[in-house]
Structure 1
């Protein structure tokens, strides 16, 4: 087994100091012997080690634009996708070249990108293939790397926050007003992305005390509004206060004299105001604001800011979908995707809408486009699992949920769905394990509480099952599965009145053949033959080929 020692100290090279050093060892050999392996992970390699010259297979529109037009800043979770892609590259490389012992010095001094990468490598790679060893701790004392353009473009929010705050401490506004304003905007945005909103708000307030530049003041007013509607703690959100701040931004950018500059910045702020209005429950107002932003862009921004325009169309698509205007939503998603076919996120959004519409083949194609275009994307596998489940491919759904949780063990919704699959298959021990893991992440998940009730009922613990169903309904009074499961439990215990009440409540929320069939059985057991027959007749209308319904109708 080969052995190498690498230094992860972020003061050497910033984000992915460890990742780039490891790629420096592996990529040249892969380019020479297995170029397909490099091609399969070109995005991840370029993000972590931009100095390496490799063929580019996957590109998005932003890659060819001036930096000022690259307005889509990656979210904080993107680095997990990069880490998983790098882990798969390392796994497949070592599977061909042989096992490796990697000793990592200064892991405690690593940037969060490398800490995350080391965790993913340790979790996903067999120790017989990659043995990770913590090495010496001899941290350097040099300055932090300050490649702020790279930090912004790649979504290296921790590095932007740390190095940016350090730079701002030694930087007077008067010495470089434009540079100071740009750095404040970037650092505050990074702080918000990593859930340090109080520090971001303090920086916005400081900027307001320092600067009288209208465009900058509009930008920080916008940032304050977004902080107030997107705060990671729902209790800290305040849509009304956000409205006051976004209106200030709109007022300022409306007065910008250059029509092209005004169209971009005002359109940006109108789009932000639309989000505020959505949070205030005013979707029609939000749609009108996005339309106004689109009109500005189409009138005054022809030939530039294509990403800005496609974002507006995608946002209008989301609002159209909320309003039930699905064909218009699909048309807008087609515009956004057509403008940048290499950007994966809007395939994910369109696929989710297609899934809701029952267009499973098209939804599957969109989710597989995400998988093809992006580094490993947990949401794409999770969504594909839902389509596979809906089309009866339970094994495929289970495999996708397994992979979702391999990529991100903290993806709580995947525990909900996988535990349900386990329960339906009678694998109650596995279902309980997933429920417990999921509840550790999301203790107030009504769906997990419902599956827990189903597990308890299957194992004969009726009191515990009833308590779990009650807890699920306390959290979500419209959870059909909980009403149905509680009704079934009441029926099994001989409480026909309670069973009828719960199943009737479930049917008011969602009329299905299965619920009607179950209620018919309760009616029959309670001596209500006519009501049972009515439920069976309606169930047969909904599911005319169901043999169980046909059998019970014949008995009736």
Structure 2
């Protein structure tokens, strides 16, 4: 089972006092923890969705955000500390990612030491016992001789783990049962697990196996998964809008082969498919056609079932994005407000509403939306970056600087967030700190545009501090990367003249 070392760490704290966002993250790591048993009522529809109703699954960025929320709550309980992990070579993937995230939390309050083999730690934390995990481990130990009902149980548990975001545990269970249940549904869930991990070629292989399902609804599901690989998840050089459209059209046609007396919700499946095709039209620049697909779908999902309600919010979100793309900002704002009336606890919706207000230069309204987004999702980096920009536009430099600092701390490896923070430090005459940040990344490892921005900022700070040779060197690097930059050439000439 996954996250055993993390569960051992968490178990030394009183989680009942944690904030809602930390408990939402805890559900991913330890879904059976009593502390998060009632959190669904405080969560967005996406976070609260049950396994059978879930249509949004979490990728790495979302998991890292959850881990930051959990890590901060844990540190607030235990205080500054050292975490020593012995036999680190045996760490599961989820625990490794959590510990990497924990080690990069701001404030240097925790040091994580990974040791190969046994260690000499004086204190050892053991994971709490879980009846669910004990049952899974017991069944898994004799998976080849299980009854059909026991294999069903393992499959259902894998689906549950996928639902909360633990694709690694789900993958291990599915790979264990696949030789004994070689059916399309298992391949489909395994493909989803690989997609969540960014292993898209393996995901495509599994989804193609899923596509052999004799059930037309299964074929439509496989086609949708394959379409999204080619639209969103594959590396850029493998993506294809034409392949996306082909899979969606094939899946839509497959639904016409379902028997008329089938009692499954074909309306949902058809609307789900056309939502995917709306993305194709959106990417092709046919935004009006995408809007037609989305508004028609929304009108068909008014029944109030859980899966309809969830998918309705997805369609409304996409509709608002369409309105924003074609400049109908008032319509986008109206749609986001309607969306928040259905699911007001999704921080991303508040953030996207803020984008619209910013487009309309409604800065006070944008600020109100961003503060609500920050309250609901304090680890979303983009929220803090937008807060920094908005505070600047209303003349609150100190608040902007703090927001940019937090955005940088959310992910110290994000170059744009680092630059925003360093630039405002420079504008605030905190020259040495700005220079330290600008020089903290190797420009040789960055895309050209990002390297040029940081080198230019570093040159300006070197010059401010009177270090003209370093300023000259940085500007020469800029011109090596971008020989036709007139500003860099003029600045280099000016520095050279001052050095003469």
Sort the TM-score into its range (normalised by shorter chain): 0.7 to 0.9
Partner of 1:242: 244
Bigger shift: residues 54-63 or 216-225: 54-63
1:105 aligns with 2:86: yes
Q: Report runs of 4+ in structure 1 exceeding 6 Å deviation.
A: 125-131, 490-493
Q: CA deviation at 1:128?
A: 7.0
Residue-by-residue CA offset, 1:349-382 (whole Å, 9 max, x unaligned): 1122222222222222222222222362222222
**Of 57, 61, 74, which residue of structure 2 is paired with 1:73?**
57
CA deviation digits over 1:96-139, x for unaligned, max 9? xxx6554433333222221122223333377776675647459x
Alpha-carbon distance in structure 2 between the residues aligned to 1:132 and 1:121? 11
Q: What is the deviation of 1:221?
A: 1.2
Q: 1:22 and 2:9 equivalent? A: yes
1:248 deviates by: 1.0
In structure 1, the partner of 2:147 is: none
Please list the CA deviations of residues 180-223 of structure 1 after superposition, one character each: whole Å capped at 9, or x if unmatched. Answer: 41x32222123223221111111122233x32221111111111
Scaled by the length of structure 1, the TM-score of the pair is: 0.71
Aligned counterpart in structure 2 of residue 357 of structure 1, from 354, 357, 360? 360
1 CA distance for matches of 2:442 and 2:255? Answer: 46
Give yes or no for contact 2:22–2:66 (8 Å, CA) kept in 1.
no
Contact 1:320 1:328 in 2 (8 A): yes
1:214 matched to 2:216? The reply is yes
1:273-422 pair list within 5 angstroms? 273-298=277-302, 301-304=303-306, 305-374=308-377, 376-422=379-425
Report how far residue 161 of structure 1 moved. Answer: 3.5
**438-447 or 70-79, which deviates more:** 438-447
Q: CA deviation at 1:91?
A: 1.6
Q: 1: CA distance between counterparts of 2:479 and 2:333?
A: 38
Q: Is the 8 A contact 1:78 1:155 kept in 2?
A: no
Of 89, 101, 105, the residue aligned with 1:124 is 105
The CA deviation at 1:86 is: 1.9
**Which of 62, 68, 78 is the aligned partner of 1:84?**
68
Whether contact under 8 Å (2:422, 2:438) holds in the other structure is: yes
Q: 1:253 and 2:255 equivalent?
A: yes
The change in CA–CA distance for 1:217 and 1:131 in structure 2 (over 3 A counts) is: closer
The residue aligned with 1:151 is 161
Corresponding residue for residue 201 of structure 2: 198
- Indicate the SS of the match to 2:187: helix
Task: Give me the whole-angstrom Cα distance separating, in 2, the residues matched to 1:293 and 1:259.
Answer: 20
Moved more, 308-317 or 251-260: 251-260
Distance in 1 between residues matched to 2:444 and 2:166, nearest whole Å: 25
Q: In 2 relative to 1, CA 303–160 (structure 1 residues): closer, same or farther, beyond 3 Å?
A: closer
Partner Cα distance (1:487, 1:330) in 2: 44
Which of structures 1 and 2 has the bigger CA Rg? 1
User: Who is 2:129 aligned against?
Assistant: none
- Decide whether aligned partners of structure 1 residues 39 and 119 sit closer, same or farther in structure 2, where only a CA change above 3 A counts: same
Whether the 8 Å contact between 1:84 and 1:376 is mirrored in structure 2 is yes
Query: What is the deviation of 1:241?
Result: 1.9
Alpha-carbon distance in 1 for matches of 2:440, 2:192? 32
Q: Is the 2:31–2:164 Cα contact (8 Å) retained in structure 1? A: no
Out of 244-253 and 463-472, give the one that drifted further: 463-472
Alpha-carbon distance in 2 for matches of 1:439, 1:296: 53
Change beyond 3 A, Cα 1:392–1:356: same
Q: Encode CA deviations 1:416-461: one digit per residue, 9 max, x unaligned.
A: 3123223434555544554455666972252552352354356355
* Matched residue SS, 1:124: coil
Cα distance between partner residues in 1 of 2:492 and 2:108: 50
Residue 78 of structure 2 corresponds to 94
Structure 1 position 249, deviation (Å): 1.6
Whole-Å separation in 1 of the counterparts to 2:220 and 2:110? 53
In structure 2, do the counterparts of structure 1 residues 394 and 473 end up closer, same or farther at CA, with 3 Å as the change threshold?
farther
Q: 1:414: Cα distance to partner? A: 0.2
Please tell me whether the aligned partners of residues 333 and 353 of structure 2 are also in contact (alpha carbons under 8 angstroms): yes
CA distance in 2, matches of 1:231, 1:473: 35
CA contact (8 A) 1:254 1:262 kept: no
Q: Describe the SS at the equivalent of 2:299.
A: helix
The match for 1:230 among 229, 232, 238 is 232
Q: CA RMSD in A?
A: 3.5
Q: Deviations over 1:152-176 (max 9, x none)?
A: 2222233333443343244222xxx
Whether the 8 Å CA contact 2:28–2:166 is kept in 1: the answer is no
Question: 1:127–1:314: structure 2 CA closer, same or farther, 3 Å change rule?
Answer: closer
| 1:322 Cα deviation from its structure 2 partner | 0.4
Unaligned runs of 5+ in 1: 1-12, 174-179, 475-481, 494-556
2:448–2:481 Cα contact (<8 Å) kept: no
Instruction: Please give the alpha-carbon distance, in whole angstroms, between the structure 2 residues aligned to 1:442 and 1:322.
Output: 33
* Alignment partners' CA distance in 2, 1:102 and 1:466: 44
SS at match of 1:240: helix
* 2:118 is aligned with 1:114: no
Q: Which runs of 5+ in 2 are unaligned?
A: 120-136, 142-153, 496-500
| Alignment CA distance shift 1:131-1:489 (3 Å) | closer
Please say which of residues 422-431 and 69-78 is displaced more in the overlay.
Answer: 422-431
CA distance in 2, matches of 1:60, 1:441: 42
Higher-RCO chain (CA-CA 8 Å, sequence separation at least 6): 2
Corresponding residue to 2:45 among 54, 61, 79 = 61
**1:265 — aligned with what?**
269
Count of residues paired in the alignment = 452
The Cα offsets for residues 28-71 of structure 1, whole Å up to 9 and x where unpaired, read as xx64xxx3x46673223333233332364732235665533222
* Whole-Å separation in 1 of the counterparts to 2:389 and 2:276: 31
Alpha-carbon distance change, 87 to 310 in structure 1, aligned in 2, over 3 angstroms: same
Tell me the TM-score normalised to structure 2 length. Answer: 0.79
Contact 2:158 2:171 in 1 (8 A): no
